[in-house]
Amino acid sequence: MTAELTRRVLTLLFVREGDRLLLGYKKNGFGKGKWNGFGGKVKDGETVEAAAIRELEEESGVIVSYTSLKKLAKMEMEFEGWNELLEIHLFTTHTFCEMRPKWFHITDLPFSEMWADDSHWFPFLLAEKKFIAKFQFRDMETISSFFIKLVDDLNAPS
Ligand SMILES: Nc1[nH]c(=O)nc2c1ncn2[C@H]1C[C@H](O)[C@@H](COP(=O)(O)OP(=O)(O)OP(=O)(O)O)O1
Q: Would residue 18 count as lying in a domain?
A: yes
Residues 63 and 121 in one domain: no
Q: How many CB atoms lie within 10 A of CB 148?
A: 14
pLDDT tens by residue, 101-145: 788 999 999 999 999 999 999 999 999 999 999 999 999 999 999
Answer yes or no: do 83 and 9 share one domain.
yes
Say if ligand 1 is within 6 A of residue 48 CB. no
**Dist. CA 105 → ligand 1 center (Å):** 29
The total number of residues shown for the chain amounts to: 158
The ipTM, to two decimals, is 0.92
The finding on whether 64 has its CB within 6 A of some atom of ligand 1 is: no
Alpha carbon of 99 to ligand 1 centroid (Å): 25
Q: How confident is the model at residue 17 (pLDDT cuts 50, 70, 90)?
A: confident
Residue 42: pLDDT over 90? yes
User: Residues 6 or more apart from 48 whose CB is under 8 A from it?
Assistant: 9, 11, 42, 71, 89
What is the residue range of 142's domain? Answer: 111-150
Residue 98 domain-assigned (yes or no): no
Name, in order, each residue with C-beta under 8 angstroms of 154's C-beta and a sequence gap of 6 or more. 130, 132
pLDDT at 80: 93
Determine if ligand 1 sits within 6 Å of the CB of residue 27.
Answer: no
How many domains does one find in the chain? 2
Mark whether 69 and 139 lie in a shared domain.
no
124, part of any domain: yes
Residues 20 and 62 in one domain: yes
Q: Whose CA is nearest to atom 5 of ligand 1?
A: 36
**Statement to judge: residues 125 and 71 lie in one domain:** no
Does pLDDT of 45 surpass 60? yes
Query: Residue 156: what pLDDT?
Result: 83
Residues 12 and 66 reside in one and the same domain: yes
Q: Is residue 100 part of a domain?
A: no
**Tens of pLDDT, residues 54-96:** 999 999 989 999 999 999 999 999 999 999 999 999 999 987 7
Q: Is the pTM of this model over 0.90?
A: no
Q: Would 106 be classed as within a structural domain? A: no
Nearest-CA neighbor of 68 among 42, 101, 33, 97? Answer: 97
Q: Are 116 and 48 contained in the same domain?
A: no
Q: Cα(71)–Cα(48) distance, rounded to whole angstroms?
A: 10
Q: For ligand 1, atom 27, name the residue with the nearest CA.
A: 40
46 plus 75 within the same structural domain: yes
> What is the distance in A from the centroid of ligand 1 to the CA of 107?
35
78 and 15 within one domain:
yes
Closest CA to 151 of 121, 109, 118, 119: 121
Q: How many CB atoms lie within 10 A of CB 13?
A: 27
Same domain, 17 and 80: yes
Q: Is pLDDT above 60 for 1? A: no
pLDDT score, position 132:
94
